[in-house]
Amino acid sequence: MATQDHKATGARTEEQEDTPAEPPAAPASASDTAETQGVDDLLDEIDGVLESNAEEFVRGFVQKGGQ
Amino acid sequence: MAPVGPDSTGEVSVHRVMGTETEYGIIAPGLPAANPTMLSSQVVNAYAATLREGLGNLAGTRWDYTDEAPLTDARGWLVDRGSAHPSQLTDEPPVLTAEQVALAEGADPQDTAVLMNLVLNNGARLYVDHAHPEYSSPEVTNPLDAVLWDRAGDRVALAAMERIAGTPGFSPVHLYKNNTDNKGVSYGSHENYLVPRSVPFGNLAAALIPFFVSRQVLCGAGRVGIGATHQRPGFQVSQRADFFENEIGLETTVRRPIINTRDEPHAVAEKYRRLHVIIGDANLNEVSNYLKLGTTSLVLSLIERDLCPVPELAEPVHALQDISHDPSLQSTVRLADGRQVTALDLQEMYHGAAAAACAGGADAQTQDVLDRWGTLIEVLRRDPMDAAASIDWVAKLKILQAYRDRDSVGWDNHRLALVDLQYADLRPSKGIYHRLAQRGQVELLVTPAQVERAVAEPPRDTRAYFRGKCIANFPAEVVGASWDSIIFEVPSQNRLQRVQTREPLRGTAQLTERLFQESATAEDFLTRLLSGPEQRVAP
């Protein structure tokens, strides 16, 4: 997780080194980051369980009429 | 509080006799050309096989069609069989041809009878309905129990899938708790509520139409695609909305109506009607399911006492679809008096009336439904995305939106369609709802231990207890069953013994548990039931 944080913010930090630091909105950004991380994590998990070849699988899900 | 049956004298409450029916979507990815009726019968037979392992000689139970009347219209007439759509003839057992049986991999029709119907120990029915396996829950007396025995059906479906997957020579079958293949076909998830016959049907229909049109914001399952045949890309609140064309009618498979008039009470017809609700989405989320059943039962309770608002819609079918097509919940629909209201405004009218009727105090479950209903209306007004733990369509949309943001894809992306489908996959390893539940991101109302129990045990407070215990205790002698009858075949009698169970609130554990405990054999049981002093406890 820590690596992901670094990746996400690293580039901007370097660019911004010479400019006055923006006031850090610590609590908000911390929870935002946690939320983003949670979503990334969830999508990674779902990526892992999705049937392979989405197009073919979805096309193959054909039902006969029901009530 | 003791569960009460439908009457118009007690308090306004969520308690009444109710039950659910789920038609599961079914595919065998390894057999793309497989006949769906055949696959569905595999599900029934696979579950029967798991039961035989556990309980010895359990045989499939024939369904007793004697009292089925799917063509009786609540508005007061009977449809001619010749003019009915073939799928409406639900009182005829489905017939598998020899050819279809032969399609079953590894099954030898010579030595294996193909079961199309099972009545389970928990009082439920598992059977082949059209081209889908269907689980019809036992009758319960409150929405929380309805959620529990509905979830038990998902567990039954999972056990059948696992059995098939583990059987050499069979191709795995997947079951989905959803309502459309997104290619023009929809299948149902029905609710049933017992209502006193004395309530005029017109009153029910008038008050329920605006309620059903708007309740999807609380219990829709969400769908990728707009239009019955997915004509346009997009996301909508309900799985079912685009498949409805009429306000009131008898059909369930064609020209679907918001209010279904099938008048087949499966009970004493002079006293009760069974309101057969066909408009709901199949819910994975337990809170969605609980509120779907709980708010509907409350609204029925209001109607029975003439306390229900009737915000007549100018165009109900259009309103149903307009609401479904706007996940922001901001769009308005027109009332007959010209006012423009949102779905949440409509729900607030019904919630307000129920809250007012219960202001003097309500039982715990009724209060819980009222509180959750009111809170969710507020949450949805503020930001629908905050309701992801409680509402299926919101949870689904949140995931889809995250995919769209991460991968920069439009609503026509195939992976989004796959997420929609797999949300409803009943396998814990593959189903996205189940993954969310494992991560603690959805609210649960029943425990796994309760669900396991509900798979094996009937509710104790309805006639389902009698049915379930007859099946469990006398598997060899019970040769047929239905909602309102049990048929015994015992050696000493030449004729079959048919026990009617037409009072849904009789045949309970309180009335019959001792009789079951004290009867050593089916013969003994029948003798006591039909001629002995226990006669009065018979349902």
Nearest-CA neighbor of B471 among B123, B28, B16, B52? B123
Instruction: Give the gap in angstroms from C-alpha B124 to the nearest C-alpha of chain A.
Output: 19
**Interchain proximity B422–A54, CB inside 8 Å:** no
Q: Which long-range contacts (CB under 8 A, 24 or more apart) does B153-157 make?
A: B153/B20, B153/B22, B153/B124, B153/B126, B154/B22, B154/B426, B155/B451, B155/B452, B155/B455, B156/B47, B156/B120, B156/B124, B156/B126, B156/B455, B157/B24, B157/B43, B157/B133, B157/B426
Nearest by CB to B435, from A49, A60, A66: name it: A49
Q: What phi and psi values does residue B500 have, to the nearest 5 degrees?
A: -85, 145
pLDDT score, position B287: 98
Give residue A20's pLDDT: 44
Nearest neighbour of B131 by CB, restricted to A39, A54, A66: A66
Instruction: Read off the pLDDT of residues B443-499 as tens digits, 9 standing for 90 and up.
Output: 999 999 999 999 999 999 999 999 999 999 998 899 999 999 999 999 888 889 999
Within 8 A of B429 by CB-CB distance, chain A residues are: 49
User: Would you call A65 and B188 a contact, using CB atoms and an 8 Å cutoff?
Assistant: no
Task: Please name the residues between 16 and 45 in chain A that touch chain B, using a CB distance below 8 Å.
Answer: 39-40, 42-43, 45
Here the tokens at position A42 are 């969830």
- Kindly identify which residue of chain B lies nearest to residue A60, measuring between CA atoms: B32
**How many other C-beta atoms are found inside a 10 Å radius of the C-beta of residue B114?**
17
Positions of chain B with pLDDT under 50? 1-8, 55-57, 59, 97-111, 534
Give pLDDT tens digits for A24-62: 444 555 667 777 788 899 999 999 999 999 999 999 999
Structure-derived torsion over alpha carbons of residues B305, B6, B198, B274, reported in degrees to the nearest 10: 120
B337 labelled catalytic: no
Q: How many CA atoms lie within 13 A of B416 on its CB side?
A: 25
Q: Residue B531, exposed/middle/buried by CB under 10 A (0-12, 13-18, 19+)?
A: exposed
Using a CB-CB cut-off of 8 Å, the residues of chain B touching A45 are: 435, 439
Catalytic residue, candidates B64, B67, B80, B129: B129
pLDDT at residue B107, as a whole number: 43
Nearest of B500, B473, B465 to residue B485 by alpha carbon: B500
Per-residue pLDDT tens over the stretch B104-157: 444 444 435 688 899 999 999 999 998 999 999 999 999 999 999 999 999 999
Q: How far apart are CA B321 and CA B339, in angstroms?
A: 18
Angle between helices A2-15 and A26-49 (to 10 degrees): 130
CB–CB of B86/B257 below 8 Å? no
Distant-in-sequence, close-in-space partners of B65: CB < 8 Å, separation ≥ 6: B91, B92, B93, B482
Residue of B nearest to A66 (CA): B187
Query: Chain A residue with minimal CA distance to B432?
Result: A46
Residue of A nearest to B23 (CA): A66
B42: tokens are 């595999």
Q: For residue A66, which residues of chain B lie inside 8 Å, CB to CB?
A: 23, 129-132, 185-188, 253
All residues of chain B having their beta carbon less than 8 Å from the beta carbon of residue A65 are 87, 130-131, 185-187, 253
As a whole number of angstroms, the distance between CA B284 and CA B376 comes to: 17
**Residues in CB range of B349: below 8 A, 6 or more apart:** B309, B311
Contact B253 A66 (CB under 8 A): yes
